[in-house]
Chains A and B, each alone.
Chain A
Amino acid sequence: MNNVAQYDVESIRNDFPILGKKIHGNPLVYLDNAASSQHPVQVINAIKELYESGYSNIHRGVHQLSQDATKAYENGRASVRGFVNADCMHEIIFTSGTTESINLVAQSYARPLLKKGDEVLITHMEHHSNIVPWQIVCEQTGAELRVVPISGRGELEMDRFAALLSERTKMVAVGHVSNALGTVNPIKEIIDQAHALNVPVLVDGAQAVPHIPVDVQALDCDFYAFSGHKLYGPTGIGVLYGKEKFLSKMPPYKGGGDMILSVSFEKTEYNALPYKFEAGTPNIAGAIGLGAAIEYIQSIGLGAIAAHEHGLLEYATSKLRDIEGLRVIGEADQKAGLISFVLDQVHPHDIGTMLDMEGVAIRTGHHCAQPVMEHFKVPATARASFGMYNTFGEIDVLAEALNKTIGMFA
């Protein structure tokens, strides 16, 4: 409770210029953080400074600017390494986002290894980006995709997971936190059970890293993927953490400059990790912005942020439950950062438009998780998702706007 009391949300809000904006004449209430979060001045300035006084291509020039930019880019990697507590820098690969990170593992790790009769195990609550890359690689190799079901509360059926895991399983890919339900999955348990059968595990951490301190060594996960833009950082930058023992044996995912040591037409020698997987000029500003975002988060403390958001979630859940005709979708014991819901009388799209006119930004739709929608037999949901800068007062505005919406459609 102390943590929450000391948490200075107003001073945090002052760091985010966009939060002062008005939408349709009302103060912006930004509750779409699970889709993408906003940016503190510290991130904006880091990018601005780069372009104003430190920019050049990296890893290539002998000149001063190139050395400075290279250093700043690698500092971004160092921040990421510390943030997820990876053992070494070269286990952190910059990608364009979670989606590319997962595709990289599917194509470079799984594809050469999978064959007919093998299985890839995912869950029913995955984001499309942790479904489709596995479908593609299964199609390419003849392997089969197996899916762990979820319960009516939106939790993984762990006994089914155990039953589906077998010597045929060659890969497990699971979300840490569900973007459609908010469920926090027991990934440590999943990893331990998979490892007992020597099966590597990829964790889709896109929705987890903004809310939960992650230690990839303590988890012992083999791959961990996330995006910068859900972590108060820029778009177009993401991370793949991978254990060196896997990464070093994997073939490159893309070919081009920077990922090679030497090229002749007879033979090309690949560069060392992590550069082997970073072909072409990378997202330099993205990596630097992501580094700044992580430093900003660390200056507040992810633990304190998580406690604040947990308070918001509890408050919002009880407030929304009081609204007649509102059904919360996803009632797992362990939830983080978001609440999905439907109204009896009003379609999520109409909720979205009504709330927008009040300045409240939420997401409506299937959240790139159509199997989840089908499981709960809803075409779509409305989703309010929280970030470090949201307030209890904003939840009141949300509830008020929902009541107004119901009034209009009743």
Chain B
Amino acid sequence: MDNLRELYQEVILDHNKNKRNYRKIENPDSFAHGVNPLCGDQIDVYLNLRDGVVEDVSFDGQGCAICTSSASMMTVALKGKTEADAHALFESFHHALTDDEVHPEDVPLGKLKVLTGVKEFPVRVKCATLAWHTFDAALKKVQDDISTE
């Protein structure tokens, strides 16, 4: 039961119930669709950038509590970050959750740290990282568009 409380912390349950930035952005600078085919979780991430900074980021779709709250917390964490910092945060988060050698405490994640309880539930790690992968895909798309122009 202790593990469960680690997994479903109050903050996580709150973000699951009261999703932040849960909306579609019309005509976004970029957009990506993420699916976890194993469990049917589906998330769309919308992204607007201004001068290399994440001006607005939002999501919609359907997923479990871990997936949904991770997406919600991600949007809060990313707003105002430069592209480079945003990508770096994705890398840190991913690293903290998926690398067995890494102790989550050692990674500077700020409020996102509450999600690292998922490490005790290996089958649920993908739920927590889905939104981030989707965001990173959206970010890459704009960057690719810019670099090919």
A residues at B contact (CB < 8 Å): 346-350, 353-354, 357, 364-366, 370, 373, 379-380, 408-409
Q: Are A350 and B66 in contact (CB under 8 A)?
A: yes
10 cross-chain pairs, A with B, having the tightest CB-CB distances, nearest first = A349-B64, A347-B64, A379-B40, A380-B40, A350-B65, A379-B62, A350-B64, A366-B40, A357-B4, A365-B39
Can you add 17 more A-B contacts, CB < 8 Å, to A349-B124, A354-B4?
Answer: A346-B65, A347-B62, A349-B64, A349-B67, A350-B66, A357-B3, A357-B4, A364-B39, A365-B40, A379-B40, A379-B42, A379-B62, A379-B63, A380-B39, A380-B40, A408-B13, A409-B13
* CA of A354 to CA of B124, assembled, Å: 12
30 A–B pairs (Cβ distance < 8 Å), ordered by A: A346-B65, A347-B62, A347-B63, A347-B64, A347-B65, A349-B41, A349-B64, A349-B65, A349-B66, A349-B127, A350-B65, A350-B66, A353-B4, A354-B4, A357-B1, A357-B3, A357-B4, A365-B38, A365-B39, A366-B39, A373-B40, A379-B40, A379-B62, A379-B63, A408-B8, A408-B13, A409-B8, A409-B13, A409-B16, A409-B65
Which residues of B from 24 to 64 have beta carbons under 8 Å from A? 38-42, 62-64
| Chain B residues within an 8 Å CB radius of A357 | 1, 3-4
Whole-angstrom distance between the Cβ of A105 and the nearest chain B Cβ: 27
- In this assembly, does B71 line the interface, its C-beta being within 8 Å of a C-beta of chain A? no
Main secondary structure of the interface of A (DSSP, over half): helix
Nearest-CB residue, chain B, relative to A351: B64
Q: How many residues of B contact A (CB 8 A)?
A: 23
| Chain B residues within an 8 Å CB radius of A408 | 4, 8, 13
Whole-angstrom distance between the Cβ of A108 and the nearest chain B Cβ: 30
| Chain B residues within an 8 Å CB radius of A346 | 65
* CA of A409 to CA of B64, assembled, Å: 12
Nearest-CB residue, chain A, relative to B123: A353
Whole-angstrom distance between the Cβ of A363 and the nearest chain B Cβ: 11
* CA of A357 to CA of B16, assembled, Å: 20
| Chain B residues within an 8 Å CB radius of A354 | 4
The residue in B4, B41, B68 that gathers the most chain A C-beta atoms within 10 A of its C-beta is B4
- In this assembly, does B7 line the interface, its C-beta being within 8 Å of a C-beta of chain A? yes
Q: Are B39 and A349 in contact (CB under 8 A)?
A: yes
| Chain A residues within an 8 Å CB radius of B8 | 350, 408-409
* CA of A346 to CA of B69, assembled, Å: 13
